A and B are shown apart, each in its own frame.
Chain A
Amino acid sequence: MPVIMYREAIRDALAEEMRRDPRVFVMGEDVAIYGGAYSATQGLLKEFGEERVRDTAISEMAITGAAVGAAMAGMRPVAEIMYVDFMTLAMDQFVNQAAKNRYMFGGKTTVPMVLRTEGGAGRCIAAHHSQSLEAWFVHAPGIFVVMPSTPYDAKGLLKTCIRDDNPILFIEHKMLYNNKGEVPGEEYLIPLGKAALRREGTDVTIVSYSRMALRAEEAAKQLAAEGISAEVIDLRTLKPLDIDCILESVKKTGRLVLASEAYKDGNFVCDVAMKVTESAFDDLDAPIERVCAANVPVPMSPVLEDEAIPRADKIVAAAKRTLGKA
């Protein structure tokens, strides 16, 4: 199977969908000539031209709102917001218009748009370029939130999102773009709302997504060395959420650790924990543990940034606490 980078997987998904469907087009800041701040749209301008690969002004409201209007008028836009931190500028258009128009208008319209963005820490670019803001969007009815961790998932999920009739926030991770992975040459799609079981285990379940899913796997390896068998679930899509996959695992292990790169307070995983207690309280043998980012603006200094964001050793420690081995 061919091995490609995460950013190539994104680009290939876009190119394939643009070849398949003339309604699909790409717009955003630096997506055309530059090929995207993280090179995920490289080569698209050459193949599809200026009409379908559009460099925009630095206007997050207009980019997002124009995607809403174009989607309602029959196109399938894939708009890019360079950093998820800039979604603050696009918030109204995405959360008030994109998310709600279908419901408010009695189900008589659809808003088939994908808003691609990227988030996460790791490059020492501090508080305005390193956040994980997915919880804000999971909170809003009417939109889906997708956060792939591998090239395979990035491609299969992005293609699915482009074909879906709902507005979707597709959040990539800045530290994953150069990661390599196997991606089939032939076409495939990954359904929304299906988690990936990355590693089977019996003692504790670790649920995560995006880059933290990779750290969860790393933690599971360390735990294995200490004789602890951890099951690792990569959610892939936060909304719709594959709650059944989590419940099934918790039924087996009785212990749950939730790992996220977002701030601890109001974290999306708090909602996952609530859902698990609602449906599987009796299956739990220990309190649920969460491993999240510190409640501080992400600092620039590498030492501080590293301290703010969950590392594998913190996930290991949390897993041990659920087993009374802290």
Chain B
Amino acid sequence: MGKVKEVKRKRAQAPAKDAGVSAEVKLGMLRRMMEIRAFEDKVFELLGRNILQGASHVYAGQEAVAVGACSAISDKDFITSTHRGHGHCLALGADLKLMMAELCGKATGYCKGRGGSMHIADVSKRNLGATGIVGGNIPVGTGAALACKMQGKGSVVLCFFGDGASNEGTFHESLNMAGKWRLPVVYVCENNLYGMSVAFSRACAVDDVCGRARGYNMPGTKVDGQKVLEVRAAVLEMVERARRGEGPALVECMTYRYRGHSRSDPRIYRTKEEEAYWHGRDPIKLFKADLLAEGVLTEKAFEALQGEVDQSLAAAEKFAIEDSPYPNPSELHDDVYVGWVEGPKGLVRLK
């Protein structure tokens, strides 16, 4: 009880803007948020034109969470992602071209076209991957944190999941394990108010996710997930705490997905007024306004930045759709196992 309240109070007293963040870093964060938005708008468009196949759960509206949280970790740390994971992957520094190629199922994609939107990973950047199972990566992130602790190199894990996942058994088992073993993991809950169509308030016995941290002996805090620097500050505080060996924490970021759960979702479960309210709290607009007010950004510089982002997106689209080949069907069986491959009579050992 005490810990949750204490952390909430501390947050409330903290300045809204993180004074320790340089202008350069802030502009980099803005750019990344704009790239994610542009990427997701493009993905939605390509889905509508049936150029993109399969399911994509787009991240538009939630950009401040991924960018703010990922800005709080270093290149020796890990993240685990979710089915709505494009933002996490890009926030960790993924290349737009390789991302788009993966979504298009092309051989040049991050996962050679095998994972697509729901299983995108950039293991070289220590993104342990997205998952198609809600809550599926909470134990995985917890186990990575166990590895970090045992290896003793001061690495931490950011484990992303949504409000819906906090009702899965994996959430409760994992937070209990992390709480008991004092694992260096920060659970970042993106509360976008809905698990597909069902509002969190209709599905959950309690009002917020952060309060659940109390049951697992870790601090839980709630932040405005539309304010990138607030997300960054809250996550950074918990990351540093975890790095010092003081154990896990939960940060609940209140946010909103602009699109439906997936493209076929008519959004009949929420009102136009609600959507308008959240569009009025757009994370890019809010950050832009702050940066303009601070004098870090000008309208002209913003337009130039938007132009660069649009160009990067156009290049990614061309790379993925026009320049990249599909995987060779002969590679179907590659990489199911290490050292073995399917033969005419079953698995055979690779020479």
Contacts and interface: CB of A to CB of B under 8 A. Distances in A.
B339 interface: yes
Interface residues of A, number: 54
B218 to A, nearest CB: 15
A107 B334 contact: yes
B271 interface: no
A75 to B, nearest CB: 5
B96 to A, nearest CB: 17
Given A62-B176, A104-B121, A141-B336, A243 B139 contact: no
Interface stretch (B34-42, B48-56, B167-175, B306-314): B167-175
A23 to B, nearest CB: 8
A108 to B, nearest CB: 4
B128 A72 contact: yes
Contacts of B339: 164-166
A73 B78 contact: yes
Contact of B347 (A54, A77, A103, A240): A240
Given A65-B142, A92-B136, A107 B177 contact: no
Contacts of B145: 69
Given A57-B176, A59-B173, A106 B114 contact: yes
Contacts of B180: 57
Contacts of A71: 143
A134 to B, nearest CB: 16
B115 A74 contact: no
A101 B133 CA distance: 12
Interface in B150-189: 150-151, 157, 169-170, 173-174, 176-177, 180-181
Contact of A70 (B136, B144, B176, B349): B144
Interface of A: 25, 51-52, 54, 56-57, 59-62, 64-75, 77, 92-93, 96-97, 100-110, 141-142, 144, 164-166, 193, 239-241, 243-244, 247, 275, 278-279
Given A51-B150, A142-B337, A240-B346, 14 more contacts: A62-B174, A62-B177, A65-B137, A65-B139, A65-B140, A69-B144, A70-B146, A73-B128, A73-B147, A75-B150, A104-B111, A104-B114, A104-B115, A144-B337
